[in-house]
Chain A
Amino acid sequence: MAQITYREALNQALREELDRDERVFIMGEEVGYFGGAFKVTDGLLAVYGEKRIRDTPISELAITGAGVGAAMGGLKPIVELMTINFALLAIDQIVNSAAKIHYMFGGNAKVPMVIRAPQGAGHQLGAQHSQSLEAYFMHCPGLRVVIPATPADAKGLLKTCIRQDDPVVFLEHESLYGVKGEVPDGEHLVPLGRANVVREGKDVTLISYSKCVYDAIAAAEALENEGIDAEVIDLRTLNPLDLATVITSVKKTGKAIVIYEGWRTGGAGAEIATQIYEAAFDHLDAPVERIATLDTPMPYNARLEKAALPSAADIVKVAERML
């Protein structure tokens, strides 16, 4: 067990899987000589060479489609999209090809590919570089959507994703790369579809994933001072979605707040809230609340950006109102 960053944990997972399986290779913009736009693939080119760490032109559609084809040709590609915002150029291959191939060919073909991409706001990158698009992919059957918050989960989930055979959209948060945490050395696999109860509590359930988990934990600590005992759940994967863990918690607390960085309208939180209503309506003492990014493109100005994003203070305010 070592204290390493989220970035280092991802790098470690990639190295271990590259060592483990010859079919695994990485391609994407700047993954080789540059070491990755966020340095996740740093140092890999020197060890594994150009064949397995492949720099690509700026052609998101072709890179992603080539990942699909390579996967069908027996390889296990890891396609890095520099940020999720660019995935919109590749959405045809993600939604119309990767997600559909196993199904529309009657189970006779598979696409074991991992698409890795950072997302999220907080660095004043403006409207086109600050999105959280997990709901786009969660909406589409056939894709796994994995979204780790901690360094340990980043490693354990990425390793699992590389080994399984469904196409995965693996979403990292730009603000988490420098976050440190305990990460098991060597073999560490986190199964898909298992949420993590980060903090136990009995008064309100804070359901979150990715960076917002940290806001939820901060809020829970603040609420504790006021005598409110909050439970915090990190979903870790949105598809498969571990509804059972959420429902068990909601039945205990009777109150649920979903916190996420996508836009409020049509976001993952809308789906999670609905599923809570469907499965535990009689156990709720209050309507399920959503705390999310304001329904606007992200502004550049720091004060405006901060105001658009969900925060621990927002969570505290809503939790106090509910109780």
Chain B
Amino acid sequence: MYAPTRRWGVCMALERDKHIAQRALLTMDEVHLLDLYRRMVLIRRFEEKTAEMYSRGKITGFCHLYAGEEAVAVGAISALYDKDYVVSTYREHGHCLAKGAAPRAVMAELFGKATGLSRGHGGSMHLFDANLRFMGGYAIVGGGLPIAAGLGLSIRYREEPEVVCCFFGDGALPQGAFHESLNLASLWKLPVVFICENNFYGMGTMVQNAICQEELYRFAEPYKMPGVRVDGMNVLDVYAAATEAAARAREGDGPSLIEAVTYRFRGHSMSDPAEYRSRREERIWQERDPIKNLRRKLLSEQRLTEARLEEVDVEVAAVLDDAVKFAEESPEPALDTLGKYVYIEEGEGQ
């Protein structure tokens, strides 16, 4: 059943796209490259801290880590402007941080504190930041896609040059919501970039046991939109594809589907030891670590120095220590907020 080499082969097929990533590298200045690196490291360290805090009982409930997939969030979101929207899933810490959310507020939400992004009412799966246009994590598989289409519709309605970037996993593809949303977005030429993070497993079920078409980007074709498969372990590759798709959407030419082939370094959630995967398969993918890859590339191409990258590592570590401290010291939500926010309160209306 299990065929790691076959999956490895999938990634080999991506080698042909390397020149696209190379071009992206050449067109980016040092500030931009450092920013990519910084955001990816921030997400990785954030997830490591989260795992640590989870094991210490500081974070509870469902918690799905993004480690290994950083290149997808950072590559895609770097291709957006501030006013562009992001819609996410329950594996959302990375998307939220990449869009610019304060690590303090994200960590505090994971701790369930009043200072959290969603005031402790949301948790790991329901982060939201209106100012950053991070439009939320939705924990029903496929649930974010129709909402992304609706945001796209609002953009068209207001005639603004904005786009929506909608992330979802391979597990969302067999959902009706995926197909209905792609049809609607294409039919109405909505400015949505659909990004499928194909990490090969919907929880513990392999893609080939769930979806008749394993080349997920091919689902774009029946919906008459461009579909591309990119190396989701290469931030520059994702960036290049997302830039193109976002530009197309902004021009009014409609949606695109990007399949980013990636791998989660941890189980589905904190309670999943991932016994359905072989250690060999995990090792193969860890060698493709998106952060190590970028680091190697930046150094070998002499775009940034070892010292500069280490500065970032140190700086990020401090940011996270501060975030944890902030979360720990923050107050619990007051009990009387339990019944708040169910309905819009008097005076909140328009």
A contact residues vs B (CB 8 Å cutoff): 25, 51, 56-57, 59, 61-75, 77, 92-93, 96-97, 101-110, 112, 141-142, 144, 163-166
Contact = CB atoms under 8 A, between A and B. Distances in A.
A62 B154 contact: no
A310 B203 CA distance: 48
Interface residues of B, number: 46
A103 B342 contact: yes
A66 B119 CA distance: 26
A99 B349 CA distance: 16
A165 B348 contact: yes
Interface stretch (B22-30, B139-147, B257-265, B284-292): B139-147
Contacts of B129: 108
A61 B349 contact: no
A112 to B, nearest CB: 7
Given A59-B184, A69-B154, A64 B146 contact: yes
A120 to B, nearest CB: 27
Contacts of B122: 104-106
A64 B150 CA distance: 9
A106 B181 CA distance: 27
A103 B341 contact: yes
A307 to B, nearest CB: 37
Given A96-B140, A107-B341, A62 B151 contact: no
Contacts of A25: 157
Given A62-B181, A104-B122, A105-B128, A72 B147 contact: yes
Given A75-B157, A104-B126, A165-B350, A110 B140 contact: no
Contact of A109 (B130, B146, B154): B130
A106 B114 CA distance: 9
B37 interface: no
B119 A57 contact: no
B138 interface: yes
B327 to A, nearest CB: 15
Contact of B154 (A70, A107, A166): A70
Interface string B336-350: 000011111000111
B187 A97 contact: no
B344 A164 contact: yes
Given A103-B341, A106-B128, A61 B152 contact: no
Q: Chain B: interface secondary structure?
A: mixed
B117 A106 contact: yes
B274 to A, nearest CB: 27
Interface centre among A66, A75, A144 (most CB of B within 10 A): A66
B340 A107 contact: yes
Contact of B183 (A57, A72, A141): A57
B183 A92 contact: no
Question: What 7 A-B pairs are tightest by C-beta distance, nearest first?
Answer: A69-B150, A65-B146, A73-B154, A106-B119, A62-B180, A66-B150, A105-B128
B158 interface: yes
Given A57-B184, A61-B177, A70-B157, A101 B136 contact: yes
B138 A97 contact: yes
A166 B344 contact: yes
A108 B152 CA distance: 20
B40 interface: no
A25 B291 CA distance: 46
B341 A65 contact: no
A107 B138 CA distance: 16
A103 B150 CA distance: 20
Nearest to B178: A62
A258 to B, nearest CB: 24
Given A65-B147, A73-B150, 16 more contacts: A57-B187, A62-B180, A66-B146, A69-B153, A70-B154, A92-B177, A93-B147, A101-B136, A102-B342, A102-B343, A104-B126, A105-B126, A108-B117, A109-B128, A165-B344, A165-B350
A101 B180 CA distance: 21
Nearest to B118: A106
A56 B181 CA distance: 12
B146 A93 contact: yes
B58 interface: no
B155 interface: yes
B342 A141 contact: yes
B149 interface: yes
A308 to B, nearest CB: 32
B101 interface: no
Contacts of A104: 118, 121-122, 126, 128
Given A67-B150, A69-B152, A59 B143 contact: no
B154 A65 contact: no
A72 B136 CA distance: 10
B344 to A, nearest CB: 4
A102 B341 contact: yes
Contacts of A57: 180, 183-184, 187
A142 B342 contact: yes
Contacts of A108: 117-119, 128-130
Contacts of B94: none
